[in-house]
């Protein structure tokens, strides 16, 4: 199987890559608007049956399809998809930590 990621094939087209990544992040943010809220993983972030862990790969696959369709055959790399997805997660008010999450609270062990 050959390399098909646009960023790898055309590494010098940095402006295009930045535009696609920004558009992809915006596209992910718009998809989050389809849900009332998205709970981030609780105490077991590796629970593959968890809501967020099922949603992420599905949205990334759809994001790849979006890029190929809207950006005339541009194929994003997995790194670009992950980065755009998690940037959108971090900026979205639709994504919330589950209440039992002890992340970042030094008073709880």
pLDDT tens digits, 26-35? 999 998 877 7
pLDDT digits (tens, 9 = 90+) for 10-68: 999 999 999 999 999 999 999 887 776 666 656 566 666 666 777 888 999 999 999 99
**What is the reported pTM?**
0.76
Cα 63 to Cα 82, 88, 109: the distances in Å are: 10, 12, 37
- Confidence at residue 19, expressed as pLDDT on a 0 to 100 scale: 97
- Confidence at residue 93, expressed as pLDDT on a 0 to 100 scale: 76
Burial 89-100 (b: 16+ CB within 10 A, else e): beebebbeeeee
Do 63 and 27 touch, CB atoms closer than 8 A? yes
- Confidence at residue 49, expressed as pLDDT on a 0 to 100 scale: 66
- Confidence at residue 91, expressed as pLDDT on a 0 to 100 scale: 85
- Confidence at residue 34, expressed as pLDDT on a 0 to 100 scale: 78
**Joined tokens for residue 83:** 């980065």
């Amino acid at each position: 199987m050959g390399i098909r990621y646009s960023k790898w094939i055309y590494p010098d087209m940095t402006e295009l890559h930045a535009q696609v990544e920004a558009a992809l992040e915006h596209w992910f943010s718009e998809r989050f608007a389809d849900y009332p809220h998205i709970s981030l993983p609780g105490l077991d972030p590796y629970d593959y049956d968890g809501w967020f862990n099922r949603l992420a790969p599905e949205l990334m696959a759809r994001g790849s399809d979006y890029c190929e369709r809207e950006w005339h055959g541009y194929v994003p790399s997995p790194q670009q998809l992950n980065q755009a997805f998690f940037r959108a997660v971090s900026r979205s008010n639709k994504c919330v930590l589950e209440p039992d999450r002890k992340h970042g609270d030094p008073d709880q062990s």
